[in-house]
């Protein structure tokens, strides 16, 4: 039942605590729909924050979910009373129960009148139809984690917390499970708080991004706005770039290309079999973007977009400049040498042409 779970508008979390020598000090207002990624290096406080929201850590502060108070001064709602589900790094399935009985464990404990997700919906969304009779030891790592996520959803939570659910999986298993997580993103209207240190997972799944460093929030906002910040680049080096939401506007069957359109321009992509009107995410890395003062069509790059320079800053090693540009409402990053910036006389407000070498289709 698409959009059947929800109701909350915001998640307000304000915590201050010293836990095992680690100091957490955060004040956040998060959207209560879509995927919020909690991103940062190991030890930045991602899991600690998630456990405070779950009630697994007792921190000083306030927590309100959709206007419902879960914690404030003098009141602490115990974890078993918080309508949430928690998916851990390791899929802790009951080894003596089949997949079906693992799923039924939480589902049967929810009164029928308050169930928001049906058994069949969870099975279908996570692609479990063919493994209901199998035992956990006969499943791959990715399959076990899909069962764990389905079991969590069948408790009809108000919030789904996921603590690096792919970190224990090999590359093949990660690629297997990511499409199912993208499907959940489309089907659910409850908020998902997703802890990760993987730029690829952030780019593919997140709508909102919170960046943590040493227990404090250093950036929080929509995915596109936060990724395009050059005062505090979220991803550095080869990973720096933006995510663009687009739709397929045209297909060129002769050359096996599709044109993805967005506010401010469009990009030609290798044919992915998507129908016209299909929505998708595109990842454009700063290293794959160059800038020209004029529109040069006598070149191999097909993707030329008019844009305006909005910010420049030296980032990373000396002699490297990150340039932020806007094309309509779309933001793009380019990584140039300081010599190129000087040669083109790039300044804020200058109109240029953005040339994109390659684009990664994320979904």
Average pLDDT value for residue range 209-214: 94
Alpha helices in 154-229 (DSSP H): 171-187, 199-205, 223-227
Res 2: pLDDT: 39
The mean pLDDT value of the chain amounts to: 90
Confidence of residue 3 (pLDDT cuts 50, 70, 90): very low
CA angle 319, 322, 323 (to 5 degrees): 125
Burial zone of 287 (CB within 10 Å; 0-12 exposed, 13-18 middle, 19+ buried): middle
Q: What angle do CA 188, 189, 193 make, to 5 degrees?
A: 85
Evaluated on CA atoms 91, 96, 100, 106, the torsion sign reads: negative
- Residue 14 predicted with pLDDT over 60: yes
| Position 349 pLDDT exceeds 50 | yes
Question: How large is the angle between the packed helices 171-187 and 141-153, nearest 10 degrees?
Answer: 20
Neighbours of 329 (CB within 10 A): 9
Q: Please tell me the predicted confidence (pLDDT) of residue 35.
A: 94
pLDDT band at 361 (very low <50, low <70, confident <90, very high): confident
Span 330-354, mean pLDDT?
96
Provide the pLDDT for residue 7. Answer: 42
- The residues with which 361 forms a beta bridge, in sequence order, are 282
Q: Averaged over 176-184, what is the pLDDT?
A: 88
Domain 10-227 falls under CATH 3.40.50.1110: no
Could you give the CA distance from residue 30 to residue 286 in angstroms, rounded to a whole number? 28
Going by pLDDT thresholds of 50, 70 and 90, the confidence category of residue 17 is confident
More confident residue, 247 or 301: 247
Q: What is the mean pLDDT of residues 159-172?
A: 91
Q: Evaluate if residue 166 carries a pLDDT over 70.
A: yes
More confident residue, 257 or 238: 257
pLDDT(233) > 80: no
> Poorest-confidence range of 34-38, 107-111, 119-123, 258-262?
107-111
Number of Cβ within a 10 Å radius of residue 75: 9
Compute how many other C-beta atoms are within 10 angstroms of the C-beta atom of residue 168.
15
Which pTM does this prediction carry?
Answer: 0.89
Strand, coil or helix: 238: helix
Each residue of 74-109: pLDDT tens digit? 899 999 999 999 999 888 899 999 999 999 998 998
Pick 236 or 33 by higher pLDDT: 33
Residue owning tokens 């059947």: 4
Q: Where exactly does CATH 3.40.50.300 map onto the chain?
A: 10-227
Question: Do residues 50 and 163 make contact, with C-beta atoms less than 8 angstroms apart?
Answer: yes
Q: Does residue 362 have a pLDDT over 80?
A: no
Under CATH, to which class is 241-361 assigned? mainly beta
Chain-centroid distance of CA 71 in Å reads: 26
Q: pLDDT-based confidence at 363, cuts 50/70/90?
A: low
pLDDT of residue 5: 42
**pLDDT over 90, % of the chain:** 68
d(CA 27, CA 216): 9
Neighbours of 280 (CB within 10 A): 17
- Exposed/middle/buried for 208, CB within 10 Å: 0-12, 13-18, 19+? buried
Q: What's 63's DSSP letter?
A: E
d(CA 48, CA 70): 17
CA dihedral 270, 272, 278, 279 (to 10 degrees): -70
CB 344 within 8 A of CB 293: yes
Question: Which pLDDT value is given to residue 183?
Answer: 84
Q: How far apart are the first and last CA of the chain?
A: 22
Q: Are 358 and 241 in contact (CB under 8 A)?
A: no
Q: How does DSSP classify residue 158? A: S
Which segments of the chain belong to CATH 2.40.50.100?
Answer: 241-361
């Amino acid at each position: 039942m698409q959009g059947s779970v929800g109701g909350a508008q915001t998640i307000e979390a304000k915590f201050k605590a010293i836990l095992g020598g680690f100091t957490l000090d955060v004040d956040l207002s998060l959207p209560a729909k879509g995927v919020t990624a909690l991103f940062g290096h190991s030890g930045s406080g991602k899991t600690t924050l998630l456990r405070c929201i779950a009630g697994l850590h007792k921190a000083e502060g306030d927590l309100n979910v959709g206007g419902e108070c879960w914690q404030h001064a003098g009141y602490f709602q115990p974890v078993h009373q918080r309508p949430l589900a928690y998916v851990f790094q390791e899929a802790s399935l009951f080894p003596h129960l089949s997949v079906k009985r693992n799923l039924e464990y939480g589902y049967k404990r929810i009164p029928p009148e308050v169930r928001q997700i049906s058994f069949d919906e969870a099975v279908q969304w996570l692609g479990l139809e063919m493994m209901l009779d199998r035992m956990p030891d006969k499943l791959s790592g990715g399959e076990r984690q899909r069962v764990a996520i389905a079991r969590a959803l069948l408790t009809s939570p108000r919030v789904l917390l996921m603590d690096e659910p792919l970190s224990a999986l090999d590359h093949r298993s990660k690629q297997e499970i990511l499409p199912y997580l993208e499907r959940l993103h489309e089907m659910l209207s409850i908020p998902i708080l997703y802890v990760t240190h993987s730029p690829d997972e952030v780019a593919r799944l997140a709508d909102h991004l919170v960046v943590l460093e040493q227990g404090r929030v250093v950036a929080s906002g929509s995915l596109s706005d936060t990724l395009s910040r050059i005062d505090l680049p979220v991803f550095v080096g080869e990973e720096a770039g933006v995510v663009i939401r687009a739709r397929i506007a045209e297909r060129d069957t002769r050359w096996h290309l599709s044109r993805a359109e967005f506010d401010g321009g469009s990009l030609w992509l290798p044919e992915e079999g998507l129908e016209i009107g299909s929505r998708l995410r595109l990842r454009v890395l700063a290293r794959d973007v160059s800038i020209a003062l004029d529109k040069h069509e006598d070149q191999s790059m097909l993707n030329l977009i008019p844009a305006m320079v909005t910010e420049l800053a030296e980032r990373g090693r000396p002699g490297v400049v990150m340039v932020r540009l806007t094309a309509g409402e779309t933001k793009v990053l380019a990584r140039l040498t300081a010599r190129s910036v000087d040669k083109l006389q790039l300044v804020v407000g200058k109109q240029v042409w953005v040339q994109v070498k390659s684009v990664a289709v994320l979904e």
